[in-house]
Amino acid sequence: MNRLFSFFQDRHAGLGSILLLAIVLMVVMPLVFDIYRLNLAGRYLTYAFVALGLVLCWGYGGILSLGQGIFFGIGGYAMAMFLKIEASDPESTSIQTTPGIPDFMDWNRITELPWFWVPFNSLTFTIIAVLVLPAAFAFLIGFAMFKRRVSGVYFAIITQALAVVLTILIIGQQGYTGGINGITDLRTLMGWDIRDDSARYLLYYLNAVLLIGCLLIGRWVLNCKYGRILTALRDKEERVRFSGYDVANFKVFIFCLAAFISGIGGAMFTLQVGFMSPSFIGIVPSIEFVIFAAVGGRLSLVGGVYGALLVSFAKTMFAEAYPQLWQFLIGAVFILVVLVLPYGLASIYGRFGHRMRTPFERWLGDRKARSSASSGGFQEPLQEKRP
Amino acid sequence: MSSNTNFLLSIENLTVSFDGFKAIEGLNLYMDESELRVIIGPNGAGKTTLLDMICGKTRASEGSIKFRGKELTRMREHRIVWEGVGRKFQTPSIYEELSVFDNLEASYPRGRSVFGALAFKRDEEVLLRINEVAKEIQLETRLDESAGLLSHGQKQWLEIGMLLIQDPELLMLDEPVAGMSVSEREETAHLLRKIAKGRSVIVIEHDMEFVASLGGKVTVLHQGKILAEGDMQTLKQDQRVIDVYLGH
Amino acid sequence: MSGFSTQELLAIFAMQGFAGVSFFSVLLLMALGLAIIYGQMRVINMAHGEFMVIGAYATYLCSITLGALPGMTDYYLFFAIPIAFGSAFLVGYVVEIALIRHLYHRPLDTLLATWGLALIMQQGFRSAFGAREVSVLVPDWLRGSYRPTMMIDIPLNGIAILVLTLLVTLGVWWFLYRSRWGLRVRCTTANRDMSGAVGINTKRVDRVTFALGCGIAGIAGAAFTTISSTGPTSGSLYIVDTFLVVVFGGAGSLVGTIASAFSIAQAQSLMEFFLGSSMAKVLTLLTVIGILLLRPEGLVASKVRR
């Protein structure tokens, strides 16, 4: 048992902790939950993509984005547009003034599919859009900001403002976007009913596999030299710059990677929940994603996943029973995590796990660490940085 | 213009102003290859600003800085590093959360682009070089320790090591012995003399004993201008230098 | 704009300009507090909007108690404003002691913690005053409007808020640049360690500065009640704009904050007439972000030698 612990808790995300997560997601949860709860868990796991992205760019890169909902939304809307076009075939929309276009367009007296909707007739295009658009958008934002050395608080505020802009645009342009209700009534994917139980199981597993895949990508990125430069960057940006690195490029990359991962989450959300709306883009959801990462542990890749699951399930349970209490509770969680547990639940687990190891294993672990010359090892920062 | 090509570094008519205040004004400075140059001067003389301008942290309002004939004033910071200019900051600037080994590896001059850093492999060559530098800065036994646990003097050495691993042609050190003990100072002086072989070094320093122990040409800066230049012995006799700096 | 004659356009500009004045006033009052707090201790107060709401609810309470007394309807605002200031100041003072002082120099963390505080405060308002928006009795003398020409119609409450804002701004300027306290605040901003060394109680300065910033937000709340009704989440609607005002103006610059509040409010108000409010907002925000990218230090910033 002790051996297991040391296997699971080494570094930011040992393969062990990812394996454990995979078992929880793919074996334990499907066994324990009925399909309704599993679908709910699947929905929360799509938030975990965003939280994972935030662990990478905020926890390791020091770049706090309060606009991650943008990328979740882009991925989600891209998928929703495809599904909506499929749901709006001329037969099922025959009662509309213009059959064959999405219902909300018809309500807004639009008579033709807008040009930017047309490519979403193709599933291939849609998948490419889900994978490319969020990262491309992040590249534009990141490139403009990081080259101008906008960082820290300014970056957080500007990304938040951008999330507001996107929300207002979507709500304002009702005819093209479905407005505040979003894009709803999504039923089939290439004729396959995504709402029946077998489809839900399949989508849940697809979601879990993709999430594990993203975790592995994140782990790989952190474990190579890039990851160390990223940590260095958060600590002493000037030193990195004057060691010959184009700091802006390093930031742009991790921001794009986070957006890429978030976009996949958004698309999986649409598939599993059957709609997408601006309420997953704006200030509130964007900051909720941050709290998932903070609760789980901003320096733990798997922490973000557990954080998303825990907080979301807690929200569902509490908000149903005591809606008033929930707001107080989540507010208190924000404050407590920042004040008492800045490295989240993962830091408790780390300390706990460490105590569980026998002296022999500690010695073994230390020796192993020494021989591998501490490849990307990460400890909690020794002290709070005070400039 | 012809004179530029003979020097490693030639600074001409360099001026920078902050809201009208000229921190450096019409400064000319030339350095040969393999030269050790010490810059002294009272607080606010513009010493650190001068280093900032050479490495691109502060941009010149006027004038030029040529390194091996290449203009640095408009070059981006990391490119200046690629040209072979290394700069140590005044307070030890190391990555406290990484190990000593990682600190050195993070400065290793391969894998400097994003994708280069992703594809970077820790091969034999890298390990050898890191061990070699670690020996030079006397940290070879502490490679696995977190850099934040080093003593102040060791942090300064580590930062010097992080520059050495890039093998720069011009190394700029801003008060490398500030806050060091006497024995650490001696060792640092020894280290600096050693690394000055085969490369040019600029050192900013306040400690006169340390300056004398380094040898080399000394430039006295005062109010953004060069007051005097020469070896330490001559400068000690110079009345202007005594008035503004050595006197008190 | 082809459908309008020159005269009409001028009238539209004048009226929208004055409509923007109320928005400008609230924005400036909010931004002043935020700028002081951020400039002084690098704390990002996401709950700033909620402090405004405290002021607004305080004004509301005054209006239904004091304002209900015979003959007081016209004058209760004069009591409400100091009460709004005082209540927000007090809550701010307590929050500083309980929360903020543990987070100095961790700006991104203050952002998250104060967001949590904002959630708690919003729920607190909801529990205390209900989810429905409440509005105050606007005194008769604020209801009319001033009509210099046939086409231009300027509401009096806008003028009153503007006067109040100018007074508060003047007060802040006097406090920061002419008073003993302000000197201490500016010292602490410039060099915290040194200020401590020369005998300034920097912790006390922080506490008062934070509370003062919150208090000004409370005044903004009092002003807010005369142009709109108050709900538990009214404050959160202003927070993004206020942050942009502070950042756009160049944090720590009084003139910059005023200029940026004015330009943002006016741009939005003018565009609103032609494009509708949502597109006006989008364009304003994007323009501000665009300018910020070109000038990350904001409108007014001094080059500091580091």
C115-133 pLDDT, tens digit per residue, is 999 999 999 999 999 888 9
C31-85 residue pLDDT tens: 999 988 888 788 889 999 999 999 999 999 998 888 777 777 778 888 899 999 9
Cβ-based contacts of C279 with chain A (< 8 Å): 172
65-124 in C: which are within 8 Å (CB) of A?
A: 99, 102-103, 105-109, 111-113, 115-120, 122-123
- At A31, the amino acid letter reads L
Helices (H), A224-322: 225-235, 237-241, 247-273, 283-296, 301-321
Per CB-CB distance under 8 Å, the chain C contacts of B49 are 305
List the subunits that have 3+ CB pairs under 8 angstroms with C: A, B
Structure tokens at C7: 């005269």
Query: Residue B172 is encoded by which pair of tokens?
Result: 């700029």
Mark out chain B residues that contact chain A at CB-CB < 8 A.
55, 57, 76-78, 81-82, 86-87, 89, 93-99, 101-103, 105-107, 109, 111-114, 117-120, 122, 127, 143-144, 146, 148-149, 159, 162, 166
Chain B touching partners, 3 or more CB pairs below 8 A:
A, C
In this prediction the ipTM stands at 0.90
pLDDT at C283: 92
The CA distance from C120 to the nearest CA of chain B, in Å, is 35
Chain centre distance of CA C229? 16
pLDDT at A376: 35
d(CA A254, CA A121): 31
Contacts of A236 (CB under 8 A, 6+ apart): B93, B94, B95
How would you label C68-78 residue by residue, b for 16+ Cβ within 10 Å and e otherwise?
eeeebbeebbe
Q: Does C190 touch chain B (CB under 8 A)?
A: no
> How confident is the model over A38-60, as a mean pLDDT?
95
Predicted pLDDT of residue A382: 37
- Give me the DSSP letters along C98-138: HTGGGGTT-HHHHHHHHHHHHHHHHHHHHHHH-SS-B----
Query: For a pLDDT cut of 90, what percent of chain B falls above it?
Result: 47
C54 touches chain A (CB under 8 A): no
- The mean-pLDDT minimum among A8-22, A178-192, A256-270 falls in A8-22
Residue A134 binned pLDDT confidence (cut-offs 50, 70, 90): very high
Give residue C251's pLDDT band: very low, low, confident or very high (50, 70, 90): low
Domain chopping of chain C, boundaries: 22-235
Task: Provide long-range contacts, Cβ within 8 A and 24+ apart, for A355-364.
Answer: A356/A1, A356/A2, A356/A5, A357/A2, A357/A5, A357/A6, A358/A2, A361/A2, A361/A3, A361/A6, A364/A6
Tell me the per-residue pLDDT of A205-253, one tens digit each, with 9 for 90 and over. 999 999 999 999 999 999 999 999 999 998 899 999 999 999 999 999 9
- pLDDT computed for residue A359 by the predictor: 47
Pairing type for strands B200-204 and B170-174 reads parallel
Please tell me which residue of chain B has the smallest CA distance to C302. B19
pLDDT given at position B5 = 56
Cα separation, A88 vs A1, whole angstroms = 55
pLDDT of amino acid B247: 64
CB atoms within 10 A of CB A97: 11
pLDDT band at C305 (very low <50, low <70, confident <90, very high): very low
Binary contact (A221, B101; C-beta < 8 A): no
pLDDT digits (tens, 9 = 90+) for A279-313: 999 999 999 999 999 999 989 999 999 999 999 99
Strand partners, B12: B64
CA–CA separation, C133 vs C130, rounded Å?
A: 8
Q: Which of residues 8-27 of B touch C (CB under 8 A)?
A: 18-19, 21, 23
- pLDDT for C17 equals 73
- pLDDT tens for C156-212 read 778 888 889 999 999 988 988 888 888 888 888 778 888 888 888 888 888 999 999
Asked if A17 contacts A179 with a C-beta cutoff of 8 angstroms, the reply is no
How far apart are alpha carbons A13 and A148 in whole angstroms? 33
Mean pLDDT (whole number) for A118-122:
94
Task: Write phi, then psi, for B97 (nearest 5 degrees).
Answer: -85, -10
Which has more pLDDT, C108 or B203? B203
Count of CB pairs separated by less than 8 Å, A with C: 115
Question: Which residue in the set A157, A162, A332 is minimally distant from C247, CB to CB?
Answer: A157
Collect all residues of chain A within an 8 Å Cβ-Cβ radius of residue B94: 236, 239
Neighboring chain A residues of C252 at a CB cutoff of 8 Å: none
Tokens of B134: 């670690």
Q: ∠ CA(A68), CA(A73), CA(A77), 5° rounding?
A: 165
Residue B115 touches chain C, beta carbons under 8 Å: no
- In angstroms, what CA-CA distances link C55 with B124, C83, C124? 67, 8, 14
Give the per-residue pLDDT at A10: 40
- Rounded mean pLDDT, A78-95: 91
**Residue A369 clears pLDDT 50, i.e. is over it:** no
pLDDT of residue C141: 75
More confident residue, A195 or A268: A268
Nearest CA in chain A to C241: A161
Rounded distance, CA B84 to CA B87, Å? 10
CA B226 to chain A, closest CA, distance in angstroms equals 26
Rounded Cα–Cα distance for residues C253 and C41 (Å): 14
Min mean pLDDT across C4-8, C35-39, C240-244 is at C4-8
Sheet holding B62-67, edge to edge: B21-31, B9-18, B62-67, B70-71
Tell me the one-letter amino acid at B132. Answer: E
Q: Touching check for C61 and chain A: CB below 8 Å?
A: no
The pLDDT of residue C223 is above 70: yes
pLDDT at B183 over 60: yes
Cβ–Cβ under 8 Å, residues C264 and C34: no
Residue of C nearest to B20 (CA): C303
Work out the pLDDT band at A84, boundaries 50, 70, 90.
very high
pLDDT at A23 over 70: yes
Given this model, what pLDDT does residue A3 score? 41
Q: Which residues of B touch A225 (CB under 8 A)?
A: 105-106, 111, 117-118, 120, 122
Rounded to an integer, what distance in angstroms lies between the CA atom of residue A330 and that of residue A184? 29
Select the more confidently predicted residue: A160 or A379.
Answer: A160
Percent of chain B with pLDDT over 70: 97
Least confident of A351-365, B48-62, B87-101, C161-175: A351-365
User: Do β-strands B21-31 and B9-18 pair in parallel, antiparallel, or remain unpaired?
Assistant: antiparallel
d(CA C252, CA B94): 31
Segment of A285-289, B213-217, C145-149, C264-268 carrying the highest mean pLDDT:
A285-289
Average pLDDT over residues B85-102: 91
Structure confidence at residue B161 as a pLDDT band (50, 70, 90): very high
The proportion of chain C whose per-residue pLDDT surpasses 90, expressed as a percent, equals 31
The per-residue pLDDT for C306 is: 41
Residue A375's pLDDT band (boundaries 50, 70, 90)? very low
Domains of chain B in sequence order: 2-246 (3.40.50.300)
The half-sphere exposure of A377 on its side-chain side, counting CA atoms within 13 A, is 24
